[in-house]
Amino acid sequence: MSLLTTNDELAAICDRFARHPFVTVDTEFLRETTFWPKVCVIQIASPEEAVAIDALAEGIDLSPFFELMANAEVVKVFHAARQDLEIIWRLARLIPAPLFDTQVAAMVCGFGEQASYLELVKAISRANLDKSSRFTDWSRRPLSPAQIEYAIADVTHLRDIYTTLRARLERSNRLEWLVDEMQTLTSPATYEQHPENAWERLRHRARKPRDLAVLMELAAWREAEAQSRDVPRSRVLKDDVLIEIAQAAPRTPEALANLRSFPKGMERSRAGAEIVTAVERGIGRDPASIPRIERERRGSNGATVELLKVLLRQVTEQTGVAAKMIATVEDLEAIASDDHADVQALRGWRRAIFGEKALELKRGRLALAVENGRVVTFDWQDAEPASTTEHNSAHSPEEASASG
């Protein structure tokens, strides 16, 4: 197995790889005890070679690797790319492009939602991988032969997966369907960690505007603290503690200490004083700056959303595209409320395979039925929605035309 530890080796291999139409890439990193991921090994493969780069080797300069990642003539292939791209963005402030994520492609090619690399290797390469090195400590040196072999295997089989999925997408004219997802993955905004936005991870746990206002300030404080100390958020304060503080809104260190889940003695520290100050900021927030708390949608739209879920499942089974790629529950709720909702499910290829049907279902021009154990759609012939009585009397299943 080939492990690169010198700058000359790295420069030479990246120069060779730059002559190929694509390279496959993966990383091994640690994040259990840090906020920012610590990259330990980088694996890359061309159609002809595969190597691992020791990112912790003394004096190693990763510039040739970053230049390869920025090369617009070479497609960079990852599986479940987000964390790998976050690492590269953090180290070099660049995002590899053009990009191809095989997990996203697999969702369009009938492999279900979030197909793992192992599943794709079995299905496409007909191989079984030894995953025994998966949870080893990648920061310890020297790396064992088993670790190096495991790391390189993560990019060698990826070559076959990429060529197979890309060929399927081209044959089915679905390659363009990945554009939205690749744009999200290649946007710097996806990887920027702004403390003021940290509350969004917890927004559904706030029930009152005041709770949310305090939570916004507390989450921003915890995020900034975790980043500056380079420790996981939970090492600063766990989510449940943050929520309890937001609900109780203690305005003195003594009140903070009385909370059941708050770490004993922390109220007397610098952090304790800053938490009380954050609570005060939240209480004093301008109400106009507090986002509206989304309540669970109830009433007449509930039945429509449930029907749209059934339709989505039917479209998923018919097209082989994972439901997650087509529409989210939030999309369905928005469509149920508004025919012109600004959601992805009503744009582009998603509208063509699902959005139009969703609107027709809402308007009473499309019906759902079960045929041989599967959900199918039936197109009603009326130009306008008809009453239940009219449908029952004028349109029996024999008079409808099956489209599913």
CATH number at residue 60: 3.30.420.10
Cβ contacts of residue 387 below 8 Å, gap of 6+?
A: none
Are both 282 and 309 inside the same structural domain? no
Average pLDDT on 357-386 reads 76
Window from 118-127, 132-141, 249-258, 364-373 with minimum mean pLDDT: 364-373
Q: Are residues 15 and 162 located together in one domain of the fold?
A: yes
295 inside domain: no
Q: Is residue 294 in a domain?
A: no
Kindly give the pairing relationship between strand 3-4 and strand 50-54. Answer: parallel
> Does 117 share its domain with 132?
yes
Tell which residue, 340, 313, 318, has the closest CA to residue 329. 313
Torsion of CA 46, 51, 55, 58, to 10 degrees: -130
Total domains in the chain come to 3
Both 173 and 270 in a single domain? no
For 209, residues 6+ apart whose C-beta sits below 8 A from its C-beta are: 287, 290, 293
CA distance 136 to 30: 10
Q: Does one domain contain both 379 and 343?
A: yes
Q: Does the residue 52 lie in any domain?
A: yes
The answer to whether residue 279 is domain-embedded is: yes
- Whether the Cβ atoms of residue 361 and residue 355 lie closer than 8 Å to each other: no
* Residue 328, domain member (yes or no): yes
What gap in Å lies between CA 325 and CA 375, rounded to an integer?
20
* Beta partners for residue 27, in sequence order: 42
The verdict on 21 and 122 lying in the same domain is yes
Per-residue three-class SS string for the chain: CCEECCHHHHHHHHHHHCCCCEEEEEEEEECCCCCCCEEEEEEEECCCCEEEEECCCCCCCCHHHHHHHHCCCCEEEECCCHHHHHHHHHHHCCCCCCEEEHHHHHHHCCCCCCCCHHHHHHHHHCCCCCCCCCCCCCCCCCCCHHHHHHHHHHHHHHHHHHHHHHHHHHHCCCHHHHHHHHHHHCCHHHCCCCHHHHHHHHHHHCCCHHHHHHHHHHHHHHHHHHHHHCCCHHHHCCHHHHHHHHHHCCCCHHHHHCCCCCCCCHHHCHHHHHHHHHHHHHHCCCHHHCCCCCCCCCCHHHHHHHHHHHHHHHHHHHHCCCHHHHCCHHHHHHHHHCCCCCCHHHCHHHHHHHHHHHHHHHCCCEEEEEECCEEEEEECCCCCCCCHHHHHHHCCHHHCEECC
Which residue, 166, 190, 214, sits at the end of a domain? 190
Q: Are residues 257 and 330 in the same domain?
A: no
Q: Does pLDDT of 399 surpass 60?
A: no
Backbone angles phi, psi at 353, to 5 degrees: -95, -20
Among 147, 164, 190, the domain-final residue is 190
Residue 308 — very low, low, confident or very high, per pLDDT cuts 50/70/90? very high
Between helices 239-248 and 209-229, what is the axis angle to 10°? 140
Residue type, 144: S
The interaxial angle of helices 209-229 and 270-283, nearest 10 deg, is 150
Indicate which CATH number applies to the domain containing 250. 1.10.150.80
Q: Please compute the mean of the pLDDT values over residues 63-72 and round it to a whole number.
A: 98
Residues 104, 209 within the same domain: no
Of 247, 267, 289, which residue sits at a domain end? 289
Q: How, if at all, do strands 99-101 and 75-78 pair?
A: parallel
Q: Which two tokens stand for residue 113?
A: 């939602």
Q: Quick check: 299 pLDDT over 90? A: no
pLDDT in tens, 174-217: 999 999 899 999 999 999 999 999 999 998 899 899 999 999 99
Confidence at 391, pLDDT banded by 50, 70, 90: very low
* Residue 374: band (very low, low, confident or very high) from pLDDT cuts 50, 70, 90: confident
> How many CB atoms lie under 10 A from the CB of residue 173?
9
Q: Which of these ranges, 154-168, 342-356, 362-376, has the smallest mean pLDDT?
A: 362-376
Q: Which residue has the tokens 């130009």?
A: 383
Top pLDDT among 377 and 227 is at: 227
What's the token pair of residue 298?
């109830």
272 domain residue, yes or no = yes
Looking at the DSSP bridge assignments, the partners of residue 45 are 24, 50
According to DSSP, the residues that pair with 377 across neighbouring strands are 368
Residue 177 shares a structural domain with residue 245? no
- Are 236 and 352 part of one and the same domain? no
Tell me the residue range of the domain where 258 lies: 195-289
**What is the pLDDT of the chain when averaged over all its residues?**
90
Average confidence (pLDDT) over 332-339: 94
Q: Are residues 250 and 204 in the same domain?
A: yes
Residues forming beta bridges with residue 374, ordered by sequence position? 371
184 and 230, same domain (yes or no): no
Distance between CA atoms of residues 399 and 334, nearest Å: 32
